[in-house]
Chain A
Amino acid sequence: MTAPSTSPDDFRHPTTVRVTARFPGPRLLRIWETEPGLKGWFSSVDHKEIGLRYIVTAFAFLLLGGVEALVMRLQLTRPGEHLLTPEQYDQLFTMHGVSMIFLYASPILSGFSNYLWPLLLGARDMAFPRLNAFSYWVYVAAGLFMYAGFVVGQGPNAGWFNYVPYAAKPFNPGVNIDVFALGLILLGISTTVGAANFVVTFLRLRAPGMSINRVPILIWGTLTASVANLLAVPAVSLACFLLWMDRQWGTHFFDAGQGQPLLWQHLFWMFGHPWVYAIVLPAMGMVSDGLPTFCRRPLVGYTPVALATVGTMALGFGVWVHHMFATGLPSLALGFFSGASIIITLPSAVAVFAWTATIWTGRPVFTTAFLFFASMIVLFVIGGVSGFMTGSVPVDWQLTDTYFVVAHLHYVLIGINVFPIAGAIYYWFPKFTGRRLSERLGVWNFWTMFVGFNLGFFPMHLLGLMGMPRRIYTYAPDMGWDLPNLIVSIGSFLFALGILLLLINVVVSLKRGRPAGPNPWGAPTLEWAVPSPPPPYNFAVIPQIESRHPLWEAELGESPRRSSIEEGLLLDVGRETIGTSPLDGRPTLILQMPEDTLAPFVLTLGIAAVFVGLLLHVWWLVGAGVAVIAAALMAWFWPRRRQITPEGVEPADE
């Protein structure tokens, strides 16, 4: 019963059609729409739906992490405060770091990229829509897992980089660290499958004609981060697994007697440093794509910026030891890693010069989004300089584990992640919802955040220089740290007020914002060619791309060729999109995309059951989870027969 080798449905000759008042009719909508109701909600594989869920969930973790920070700032506002016990403070700063770095900074970028990638690339979905849904559900499961420990008072408590020996069983006997270790492995699954999805989408789902020198910089940023994640995440997942083995099964990886505690630091930072770039490069990409829109000119130096993005990441794999300068490593190693850490400022600076030149030579329109994007350049330079300083070994010996490092990492992470994200919300909210955010409230929002941030974090540099160690839960009154700490606390509350204004703006504008239309900013890239919000199928016909700025071709007049968005290949037999060649974007096949399915959600339930079982040593739960995983995977990968129906060829994914 082998299927015939060449049946009529093996090839198709897609016709080229033009978008008219009558096309696309309801047919495409019927094919791509997620069915309403609870089942539809749990089974949707639409990248826009998943992207928005990612953004909302990540923002919720940002708020949780923010509240944790505010509680800590209350404790540190004055010396000798007794609002928190040391143990509570430990869990708070750990969960603050975990929330911000793992549950907010990377997932929010995945959210924007998930929503925007297919629109930017002229595709109808990501390469693996079900994997995309799975990636989201596992992320939620990991977040709930780690927060469940925190809620019952057994949350992670050894900092976000969780050093041994403090994280080892003899010194930390509760389940706190097991929650951290297993939770991070769970999150690693989500990050990894999401990264693979971006890489393959980049390679195969770009619209015809979109060669790799025509993709927006955001694509380069997320692609680079995704490749890095594929290579780096296994290091931390492995470190966490080995730690869990040490704690639960008595192995000897990290104990000082027979193992080697520094192995933890190596494995963690081999992951951790590339990760730092993975959570800023896509945000830098957003700035590279957003600024030119408001400067009314293309980005200065597209090619150097794209190459610098990749170059930063490549160097980023060779700098992990700069987190370990104070651990007594040989001076040759210190010299090498110090050199690499200083050299990495070169590719980072390329983007700064490109942005500055874009503003300088453009005609800037001072919208809220522009303010956020442009201010990020300033914060990036401050954070970059403090990073450059601590890249020098003697300076690092003086400053490591002080508030100087806290100041540095917040300038980097808030400056190059939160500020661009706030700008991105102003920039793309009209695309997501069809309505604009209020510009008047937006300006207040920006200045509150900008002033609050600098007031809250700049004095931390001074506190660090004055010797205040990080992660202390209180301090004595005679250290001279009182006033800076008071200012820091005031600044942090002002910053939080800024975030609150952003939230208010979002809630109010959802209902009352000015209607946006497809392209409210007159922007050059493909996502602005479709209605706001876009229909479930994104593009009625498959666009044909001829330049880097498909919507600015007439104004720029770089070439007589014009991208074709209103006229293109018709693909409407089931869920279909075009597959193109990896470099130059020639069409090579018609991809048949999967229908909505519950399999990703069920698979996540199975995996979550396994992790809860492992944490609590409930072995039947582990067994049940494995059975659910096996069933879900079979349902997922079961080939579908190809058959001809009156509607045409039934979709099949084999």
Chain B
Amino acid sequence: MSDAALSQAPLPDDALPLGACGKNSVGWWGVLCLIATEGSLFAYLLFSYAYMAVQRGQAWLPEPHPSLSLAGPNTLILLASSVAVWWGEEGVKRQRRGQHIAGLGIGIGLGLIFLVVQAFEWKTKTFGLTSGSYGSLFFTITGFHMAHVVVGVCMLTAVLAWSLMGYFSPRHHARVTVAAIYWHFVDVVWLCVFSAFYLSPYLMG
């Protein structure tokens, strides 16, 4: 049964669904609040970066501009993991157990690959956390994002474990929905971080 059908509200004299179902749950609105506040956190982080860049001028950016050779493909890996998790969530809604488990598993795997590639990306940098305000911002902001990827992977792993134990059904799977939307959020945040650090310097020439 699709979410749209589930959230169709019965009238008071109709039977009411019992317990959380997908987006008709308090958990769904709760995770949206979490996303709002975490999204604000990254907005303030990127504000700090932009503010410092404006205050310090062109020479503040490192030369040469950040290379896209690792970060570019890594962005695609993270995007692919979001697609996998979406596909897995569709699986639980349609009671396709193989798709459900595989989607979550592939999503977790791609998330872990993203983290490993990010670690290599950090190693290639010629500046450090304490070498200047650019380095402080770069490692803090990408570090914040990596911490969110770690949290997202933990959430997906817990959901995968519960899936293997058979806790979820097409009607009752709010935890899958919640973990999935959080994972998509982590993905969107990366696009913002990536644009700020890797793409915007090229726009400035």
Contact = CB atoms under 8 A, between A and B. Distances in A.
A590 B12 CA distance: 11
A336 to B, nearest CB: 16
A93 B168 CA distance: 54
A652 B27 CA distance: 14
A628 B129 CA distance: 30
A407 to B, nearest CB: 31
A624 B96 CA distance: 40
For B30, B44, B48, B167, the residue with the greatest tally of chain A CB atoms inside 10 Å of its CB is B44
B175 A654 contact: yes
Contacts of B17: 10-11, 588-590
A639 B34 contact: no
Contacts of B166: 1-3
A230 B29 contact: no
B26 A204 contact: yes
Contact of B41 (A4, A13, A234, A590): A234
A242 interface: yes
Contact of B169 (A3, A12, A592): A3
Nearest to A191: B37
B14 A13 contact: yes
B37 A252 contact: no
Contact of A260 (B1, B52, B174): B52
Contacts of A6: 171
A5 B52 CA distance: 54
B145 interface: no
Contact of B26 (A9, A195, A200, A235): A200
Contacts of B120: none
Given A3-B168, A637-B158, A587 B41 contact: no
Interface string A168-195: 0000000000000000000000001001
A199 interface: yes
Given A10-B17, A252-B130, A253-B133, A238 B41 contact: yes
A252 B136 contact: yes
A10 B9 CA distance: 14
A508 interface: no
Contacts, number: 181
Contact of B30 (A127, A234, A586, A639): A127
> Chain A contact residues: over half helix, strand or loop, or mixed?
mixed
Interface string A115-127: 0000000000001
Interface in B37-63: 37-38, 40-41, 44-45, 47-48, 51-52, 55-56
Interface stretch (A19-27, A70-78, A263-271): A263-271
A638 B158 CA distance: 9
Using C-beta atoms within 8 Å of the partner chain, give the interface range for chain B. Answer: 35 or more
Nearest to A200: B29
B50 to A, nearest CB: 11
B105 interface: no
A251 B130 contact: yes
A106 B65 CA distance: 45
Nearest to A593: B26
A590 B48 contact: no
A263 B47 CA distance: 10
Nearest to B1: A5
B4 interface: no
Contact of B45 (A14, A203, A238, A259): A238
Contact of A233 (B37, B168, B174, B175): B37
Contacts of A641: 167
A591 interface: yes
Contact of B33 (A12, A200, A590): A200
Contact of A581 (B9, B40, B174, B175): B9
Contacts of A258: 132-133
For B26, B97, B174, the residue with the greatest tally of chain A CB atoms inside 10 Å of its CB is B26
A58 B136 CA distance: 37
B7 interface: yes
A379 B43 CA distance: 36
Interface residues of A, number: 68
A365 to B, nearest CB: 38
Contacts of A128: 26, 30
A554 interface: no
A252 B18 contact: no
Contact of A196 (B20, B33, B130, B167): B33
Contact of A569 (B12, B56, B169, B174): B12
B51 A590 contact: no
A117 B172 CA distance: 28
Contacts of B175: 637, 639, 654
A587 B12 contact: yes
For A205, A232, A238, A581, the residue with the greatest tally of chain B CB atoms inside 10 Å of its CB is A238
A208 interface: yes
Contacts of A267: 44, 47-48
A654 B174 contact: yes
Interface in A493-509: none
Nearest to A573: B18
A385 interface: no
Contacts of B38: 234
Interface string B132-146: 110111001000000
Interface in B123-157: 129-130, 132-133, 135-137, 140
B26 A579 contact: yes
A234 B43 CA distance: 9
Contact of B44 (A195, A238, A581, A591): A238
A237 B45 CA distance: 11
Interface string A225-257: 000001111110110001001000111110000
A79 to B, nearest CB: 42
For B11, B34, B136, the residue with the greatest tally of chain A CB atoms inside 10 Å of its CB is B136
B43 to A, nearest CB: 8
A267 B56 CA distance: 18
A235 B44 contact: yes
B198 to A, nearest CB: 21
Contacts of A558: none
Contact of B18 (A9, A231, A237, A242): A9
B18 A11 contact: yes
Contacts of B168: 2-3, 639, 654
Given A200-B33, A252-B133, A260-B55, A589 B18 contact: yes
Given A10-B171, A586-B9, A639-B167, 6 more contacts: A3-B168, A234-B44, A252-B135, A544-B12, A589-B19, A654-B19
16 contacts: A1-B165, A2-B169, A5-B171, A196-B34, A234-B41, A238-B41, A245-B136, A249-B129, A252-B136, A270-B44, A544-B12, A588-B24, A590-B19, A591-B26, A654-B19, A654-B175
In order of increasing CB-CB distance, the 3 nearest A-B pairs are: A196-B33, A234-B41, A1-B166
Interface of B: 1, 7, 9-12, 14-21, 24-26, 29-30, 33-34, 36-38, 40-41, 44-45, 47-48, 51-52, 55-56, 95, 97, 129-130, 132-133, 135-137, 140, 158, 162, 165-175
